[in-house]
């Protein structure tokens, strides 16, 4: 018995002329929370659906809990839980009935009350699915994925469309699952989600893994610190001679540097000499999002629409 929950070597998949997955290698340990990140069309969903047994692969070795998912064996499906992107439950059953229905498919289901409690739907247990809010329906999706008490849970973009409070709640829930010793394979568009939940992340771009490691290690590879401020009126020459200073027409400056202490010393010295303030000064460490954008950002065809505009606004909020 191996201690790997997922072992993928040289995974390939093509759709006609398009090579969607080009030789992916991935190992996920048992009880690990692993996140697969990538823009739309990078091969994320294809890869996950191959691991779940929903799609056939064209090449490579895949072992999930020791099974070949391509064979779709019943014993394999008894041990995994899948939460797809789409909802996919009968609208006219209640929460309780839905979970009970799915529990019946598995040999050793998790107790009904526990499942409902774990996803926080106890108050809605007699409510019909059609009357649940979007966030509640998504929780029910997770409940259905947990009904069979799986060892390995696939969560495909579990919080897309959630409001911020619902996302926090969902994260707490996923952390709770981790505490139960479940292996969790997550895909997400949200870098903060991956940073908070995942022990390790992989970034996939055009069907290839381009970065793999813990969020901390990946951020450490992004050695630069970002200094940002607004040049006050009448303070010309403030950034003269500073390498990497990017001055915008609106007088905002961004400096990406591996020597933040030295640069700040120089800048604050010059500001004091001139008797001005460095407007809206922020010093921010790189985030997982910066790492992500470094890997996928130079690929405008694939960059997801929401990633780019969020960059500046998020940084401003991080001072």
Partner 1 sequence: MNTAALALRQARYEMRAFWRNPAAAFFTFVFPLMFLVIFNVVFGNGTIEAPGGEINFSTFYVPAILAFSVISACYTNIAISVSFARDRGVLKRMRGTPMPALAYLGGRIMQAVAVALILVVIVIAAGVVFYGVEFPGDKLPALAVSLIVGAAAFCALGLAITAVIPNADAAPAVVNASILPLLFISNIFIPTSQAPGWLNDFASIFPIVHFAETLHGVFNPFETGSGFEAKSLAVIAAWGLAGVAVAVRYFTWQPRK
Q: Can you give the binding site for partner 1, defined by CB under 8 A?
A: 52-54, 74-75, 77-78, 80, 82, 84, 86-93, 97, 101-102, 104-107, 128, 144, 148
Which of residues 104 and 262 has its CB atom nearest to partner 1 in the complex? 104
Which of residues 45 and 225 has its CB atom nearest to partner 1 in the complex? 45
For the CB of residue 245, give the shortest distance to partner 1 in the complex, in Å.
Answer: 47
Which of residues 102 and 171 has its CB atom nearest to partner 1 in the complex? 102
Q: What is the rounded CA–CA span in Å between residue 218 and residue 227?
A: 20
For the CB of residue 242, give the shortest distance to partner 1 in the complex, in Å.
Answer: 51
For the CB of residue 83, give the shortest distance to partner 1 in the complex, in Å.
Answer: 9
Which of residues 89 and 288 has its CB atom nearest to partner 1 in the complex? 89
Q: What is the rounded CA–CA span in Å between residue 223 and residue 214?
A: 15
For the CB of residue 230, give the shortest distance to partner 1 in the complex, in Å.
Answer: 47
Q: What is the rounded CA–CA span in Å between residue 102 and residue 151?
A: 16
For the CB of residue 105, give the shortest distance to partner 1 in the complex, in Å.
Answer: 4
Token pair in block for residue 288:
């997982």
Burial 12-35 (b: 16+ CB within 10 A, else e): bbeeeeebbbbebebbbebbbbbb
Residue 149: name the closest of 117, 103, 184, 116 by CA.
103
Q: Are 64 and 76 in contact (CB under 8 A)?
A: yes
Token pair in block for residue 9:
């070597």
Which of residues 81 and 215 has its CB atom nearest to partner 1 in the complex? 81
Which of residues 80 and 253 has its CB atom nearest to partner 1 in the complex? 80
Q: Are 151 and 80 in contact (CB under 8 A)?
A: yes
For the CB of residue 88, give the shortest distance to partner 1 in the complex, in Å.
Answer: 3
For the CB of residue 53, give the shortest distance to partner 1 in the complex, in Å.
Answer: 7
Which of residues 13 and 205 has its CB atom nearest to partner 1 in the complex? 13
Which of residues 59 and 104 has its CB atom nearest to partner 1 in the complex? 104
For the CB of residue 6, give the shortest distance to partner 1 in the complex, in Å.
Answer: 16
Which of residues 7 and 97 has its CB atom nearest to partner 1 in the complex? 97
For the CB of residue 92, give the shortest distance to partner 1 in the complex, in Å.
Answer: 4
Could you count the other beta carbons within 10 Å of the beta carbon of residue 190? 22
């Amino acid at each position: 018995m191996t201690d790997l929950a997922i072992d993928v070597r040289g995974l390939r998949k093509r759709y006609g002329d398009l090579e969607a997955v080009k030789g992916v290698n991935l190992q996920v340990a048992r009880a690990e929370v692993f996140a697969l990140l990538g823009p739309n069309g990078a091969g994320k969903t294809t890869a996950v659906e191959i691991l779940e047994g929903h799609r056939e692969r064209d090449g490579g070795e895949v072992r999930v809990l020791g099974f070949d998912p391509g064979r779709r064996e019943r014993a394999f499906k008894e041990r995994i839980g899948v939460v797809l992107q789409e909802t996919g439950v009968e609208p006219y059953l209640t929460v309780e009935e839905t979970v009970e229905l799915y529990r019946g498919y598995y040999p050793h289901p998790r107790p009904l009350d526990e499942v409902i409690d774990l996803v926080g739907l106890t108050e809605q247990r007699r409510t019909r699915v059609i009357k649940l809010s979007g966030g509640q329906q998504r929780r029910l999706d997770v409940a259905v994925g947990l009904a069979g008490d799986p060892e390995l849970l696939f969560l495909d973009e579990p919080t897309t469309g959630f409001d911020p409070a619902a996302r926090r709640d969902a994260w707490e829930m996923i952390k709770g699952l981790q505490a139960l010793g479940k292996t969790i394979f997550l895909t997400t568009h949200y870098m903060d989600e991956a940073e908070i939940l995942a022990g390790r992340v992989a970034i996939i771009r055009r069907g290839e893994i381009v970065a793999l490691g813990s969020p901390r290690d990946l951020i450490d590879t992004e050695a630069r610190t970002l200094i940002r401020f607004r040049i006050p009126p009448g303070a010309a020459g403030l950034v003269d001679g500073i390498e990497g200073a990017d001055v915008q027409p609106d007088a905002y400056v961004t400096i990406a540097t591996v020597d933040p202490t030295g640069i700040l010393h120089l800048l604050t010295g010059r500001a004091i000499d001139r008797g001005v303030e460095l407007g809206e000064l922020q010093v921010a460490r790189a985030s997982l999002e910066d790492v992500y954008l470094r890997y996928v950002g130079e690929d405008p065809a694939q960059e997801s629409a929401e990633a780019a505009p969020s960059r500046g606004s998020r940084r401003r909020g991080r001072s």
